[in-house]
Amino acid sequence: MANPGRPLVFFPGSTIGNFEPEDARDFLRTVGASVGSPAALIIGFDLVKPREVLEAAYDDAAGVTAAFNFNALRHLNRLLGTDFRPDCFRHRALWNQEASRIEMHLVAVADQIVTLPFNSARFPENRLRLQVGDHIVTEHSYKYTLEGFGTMAQESGWEAAWTWTDPGSLFAVGFLEWRGSGPNLETVSEPASR
């Protein structure tokens, strides 16, 4: 850390947890390759906790997270002209131990046909048919162990120099140093003149 003047990237919160694992690695590689050596990165990440703690946090008694989830349907209706009926869904948050992530779902509590602003092979009539029990996954939020995050960082060209946690080991902040070998970005050549 005794290198004054080197680039420092700050990625607060636990936003890295909303990336799928390979996307998180790609993001970290891209940051390192873009900034180059001797870059450093301060990054926050959420730690694995007991199932009951995680599920209660994402399905809170006040309904804050549920309202956030239902708001996605309201925005789709307003921005894309769909006609989801938010009152025909319930919010559900599940801890997926194997994937080490919280999954937020909207589960249909009534049959409905939703108008879509496009058609495709899967939706040839611009309609999405939902039956009771069907669900829409709205978010994955990955949680890490200190070792797991360190491994992901290393696979992405970074070395975890220091890591700090809160007293309850609920959240961590890492100080990473770029060890990659330089930009991994494709170079685009100029077209040959005729």
pLDDT tens-digit map of 119-133: 788 888 889 999 999
Question: pLDDT-based confidence at 3, cuts 50/70/90?
Answer: low
> Does the pLDDT at position 190 exceed 70?
no
- Asked whether the beta carbons of 53 and 168 are under 8 A apart, the reply is no
Extract the tokens encoding 20. Answer: 């799928």
* Domains of the chain (ranges, CATH numbers): 8-47+144-178 (3.40.50.150), 52-142 (no CATH)
pTM of the model: 0.83
Tell me which residue of 165, 152, 142, 174 sits closest to 54, measured CA to CA: 142
Q: Mean pLDDT, to the nearest integer, of 9-21?
A: 95
The torsion defined by the Cα of 154, 53, 93 and 63, in degrees rounded to 10, comes to -130
Q: Residues 30, 152: contact at Cβ < 8 Å?
A: no
Q: Which residues, in sequence order, are CB contacts of 68 under 8 Å at separation 6+?
A: none
Percent of the chain surpassing pLDDT 70: 91
Residues 6+ apart with CB under 8 A from 124: none
DSSP code string of 41-75: EEEEEEBP--HHHHHHHHS-TT-HHHHHHHHHHHH
| pLDDT (average), residues 53-71 | 94
